[in-house]
Amino acid sequence: MSPIIYLMFLVIIASSGSPIHAVQYQVTNRATGTPGGTRFENEIGIPFTQQTIQLASQFILQTFKQIDQFGGKNIEHVSVIVTALNGNSAAITSDNNIFLDSNYIEGFSGDVRNEVIGILYHEATHIWQWFGNKEAPRGLTEGVADFMRLKAGFAPPHWVPRGTGSGWDEGYVVTAYFLDYCNGLRDGFVAMLNAMMKDHYSDDFFVKLLGKSVDQLWSDYKSVFGN
């Protein structure tokens, strides 16, 4: 399914029912007049970004089953801010604020709008996910965020193949593909794992949900995709 068709599909879903969370979504371009800020205005735009972050949040809440099964966070405001970041990140999330790097937008070669959509799905996941009271490995929480991007259909072509990586908690796409494998073993696994991570974290969560240790699951995953 193409990204444009997918977004239209989500718009239909979003308009078919009453709002679940009264959340305000705001987008600000603090890089106006810079090459990155100008490219954002010309190829992406504030209205499209605002729609995307709203649809991303709705998709994340549905995937985490926080609407009808598991409790979620009480968040009233989400902001996306386009600005120049001092670092190598395309975006960072702090509290309920997503900062998009205007320098990354300027230098990205390819469909920058589609790339930003994927980034927003990843970063929005950090707003809505649980972190095990800061006990969860960072590689896992980043993997959950890339898993959400993967499930939404916005995995970029530059991602490494399935089976790549030296450990299940390596993070990002490596862990995302592993979580997708686990989710295939038990539908809704990632949603259940996220719900269990509300107050604390333990590797035993994998045993409770799938009957195997996370190391054994990683070994099984590598045996399927490692070659």
- Stated pTM of the model: 0.89
pLDDT by residue (tens digit) across 198-214?
999 999 999 999 999 99
Output 155 or 227, whichever has higher pLDDT. 155
Residue 40's alpha-carbon distances to 50, 73, 136, 142, 205, in angstroms, are 13, 30, 34, 25, 41
Rounded CA gap, 210 and 207, in Å?
A: 5
**In what order do the strands lie in the sheet containing 97-101?**
24-29, 77-83, 97-101, 91-94
pLDDT by residue (tens digit) across 51-103?
999 999 999 999 999 988 888 999 999 999 999 998 789 999 999 999 999 99
